[in-house]
Structure 1
Amino acid sequence: MDKTTTLLCFLFFFTLFLTTSLSKDLCHKDDKKTLLKIQKSLNNPYTIISWDPKEDCCSWVSVECGDATVNRRVTSLDISDDPASGQIPPEVGDLPYLQTLIFRKLPNLTGEIQPTIAKLKYLRFLWLSWNSLTGPVPEFLSQLKSLDYINLSFNKLSGSIPASLSLLPKLEFLELSRNKLTGPIPESFGSFKGKVPDLFLSHNQLSGSIPKSLGNLDFNRIDFSRNKLQGDASLLFGAKKTTFCIDLSRNMFQFDTSKVNISKTVNRLDLNHNGITGSIPVQWTELSLQFFNVSYNRLCGPIPKGGDLQRFDSYEYLHNKCLCGAPLQRCSEDSSNQALSLKFITRIN
């Protein structure tokens, strides 16, 4: 065997030995201690019951680590679909390199959102939904400048929405639906520091008018449904915007649809159960709609023919003042006269 072959064999076996030795515990010892404290704090839930102190914590279920070869730091913790009981362990704040934190579908997870989360300066993805969390949406979230995703839906959070959330420079998704939030939509939401995020605030008890500043933004997806919002919501529309989905259903909005131009990019439009007046514009026949509902309003006049408007059944048009035409009943002469009167009154006003 020549010297080159001998050297290559030596390097191969040395590398194999080194890799085997190091792979026994690549996880940083402080992170491992912290994870074991979290396990104990949650009463050793079934999902993570397999965590073994003798094994590398980077190999544990629900845990991910960074790419460094030695002393890898925990970057992701995902505990979901478990009867785990207790509160969010304060020790989560002692995982300094955490980028993703998920506590989801833990119905027995109670208490307020843990303030030690404010220590996680690298956190990008925060998903705390389908739990039983109480208390406010914390102000400290605005300190986490790396956050681009926040989902706190399906909890029992109360109080107002912090205006400071608009200060997050990388935020792309904000989901606060199905809580008990009150008060108005913050005026500051008309001036997000970075990209305009997808905004989901449905199924709360929000009140007041939509801030005029929101009219200057080009939202991709927006859902304000099932609140107590009122006033003119037409400012959210615009022919030059790139909105894909807009749901304003089951509020107390009042505006004239005949004056509203909607972007051709709109795919889902839900306006049911409001006090919306006017007629359905012919321009709406240009939309490629997968979902559409204008029922339980005060719309009048014939439904324009063409596009996708006749593809939906009568349910999406029911209980309006004098709306007619397919898929509803044929328009009578009285209906046409009412529609003309309505347009005349609208022009005068």
Structure 2
Amino acid sequence: MEKTTTLFLLFSTLLLTTSLAKDLCHKDDKNTLLKIKKSLNNPYHLASWDPETDCCSWYSIECGDASVNHRVTSLYIEYGKFSGQIPPEVGDLPFLKYLAFHKLPNLTGHIQPTIAKLKNLTYLRLSWTSLTGPIPEFLSQLENLEIINLSFNNLTGSIPSSLSSLQKLEYIDLSRNKLTGPIPESFGSFSGRIPNLLLSHNQLSGSIPKSLGKLDFDQIDFSRNKLQGDASILFGTSKRAWSNIDISRNKFQFDLSKVMLTKTVGRLDLNHNGITGNIPVQWTKSDIYSLNVSYNRLCGRIPQGGDLQKFDSYSYFHNKCLFGAPLPTSK
């Protein structure tokens, strides 16, 4: 009798647990997600989004714990073949912290304005899509944003200066778009921490704002744009160790002889510009992980010592009158 009672209690507990698990998903969030699925024409990619099951168990969905009543906190849709625009219903998931539409080449239209309603959002990734239009100003209203990744799209227009008001921002990737205009002057006055700044493969023009020279960036990638002028303000012995700076394939012109490096340097890529002068002897005192100064107008002997000879000739060739190892000896 006792054994039967014990089995009955275990079975009842299992049923209760299963029932509770099935009801974890908040009904408002489930209804919103089903609308998103319908807006995307019910793709097979979202076949697990079955109204008879718990939405917290669906593919591409994560829910928070009991402290937020198991509300949907993450929506990550990637590698699907469906077409259309970002569903406006994404703005009706008030507890969403993480939103990503990634590797969706048939996703079109502008960045959805209802995203402005997601005040808890910390991570926004809309990448490798066919999104068009400008980077919206409303992003600066999302005060909890830590990461913005809008890379590999067809976005146009200028970069909103208001992004610098986001105090929690750690990372901005706007690379591989069709953005024009200058780098905003306001980017030299981020009100919070200083984010990694990736703006490569666009059509940005003008000079680097002098205000950026006061900041200590960990990673900058301004490569493959139409930027010009003096980029030496980005360097200095007081800058952060292990910084990664790529300003290659622009129109920068400055004297490299005056550029001093910090003790430890990550990746330094200056190729395909109009940089003059010689490589400073001070660079032999820095630990340099990766270097490329090719296709410039440098002259003089490559200083001997340090890390400068560990790179192959590719790092130095096609300069005006640069010579010395590892460049081959001219005959």
TM-score tier by shorter-chain length is over 0.9
State which of 228, 248, 254 in structure 2 corresponds to 1:230: 228
Residue 132 (structure 1) aligns with: 130
CA distance in 1, matches of 2:178, 2:328: 40
Deviation for aligned residue 1:286: 2.5
The alignment partner of 1:171 has SS state of coil
Aligned AA (2:154) = K
Deviation for aligned residue 1:187: 0.4
The alignment partner of 1:297 has SS state of coil
Residue 324 (structure 1) aligns with: 323
- Aligned positions of 1:78-227 closer than 5 A: 78-227=76-225
Q: Structure 1 residues 101-110 or 15-24, which shifts more?
A: 15-24
Deviation for aligned residue 1:305: 1.1
Q: Is the 8 A contact 1:26 1:70 kept in 2?
A: no
CA distance in 1, matches of 2:180, 2:94: 33
Deviation for aligned residue 1:13: 6.9
Determine if the alignment matches structure 1 residue 54 to structure 2 residue 57: no
Residue 301 (structure 1) aligns with: 300
The alignment partner of 2:186 has SS state of helix
The alignment partner of 1:283 has SS state of helix
- Aligned positions of 1:20-99 closer than 5 A: 20-68=18-66, 71-99=69-97
Aligned AA (1:136) = P
- Aligned positions of 1:279-294 closer than 5 A: 279-294=278-293
Q: Bigger radius of gyration, 1 or 2? A: 1
Deviation for aligned residue 1:319: 1.2
Determine if the alignment matches structure 1 residue 311 to structure 2 residue 310: yes
Gap regions ≥5 residues in structure 2:
none
Deviation for aligned residue 1:236: 0.5
Q: Structure 1 residues 285-294 or 53-62, which shifts more?
A: 285-294
TM-score for the superposition, normalised by structure 2: 0.94
Q: Structure 1 residues 112-121 or 255-264, which shifts more?
A: 255-264
Show structure 1 runs of 4+ deviating over 6 A.
Answer: 7-14
Q: Is the 8 A contact 2:256 2:277 kept in 1?
A: yes
CA distance in 1, matches of 2:297, 2:310: 21
Deviation for aligned residue 1:49: 1.8
Aligned AA (2:295) = Y
CA distance in 1, matches of 2:185, 2:123: 25
CA distance in 2, matches of 1:244, 1:216: 15
Aligned AA (1:313) = D
CA distance in 2, matches of 1:189, 1:173: 13
Deviation for aligned residue 1:12: 6.9
CA distance in 2, matches of 1:310, 1:327: 6
Greater strand proportion: 2
Q: Is the 8 A contact 1:22 1:70 kept in 2?
A: no
Aligned residues: 330
Aligned AA (1:210) = I
Q: Is the 8 A contact 1:96 1:119 kept in 2?
A: yes
Deviation for aligned residue 1:266: 1.3
Q: Is the 8 A contact 2:264 2:288 kept in 1?
A: no
Aligned AA (1:91) = E
Deviation for aligned residue 1:317: 0.9
CA distance in 2, matches of 1:125, 1:278: 43
TM-score for the superposition, normalised by structure 1: 0.90
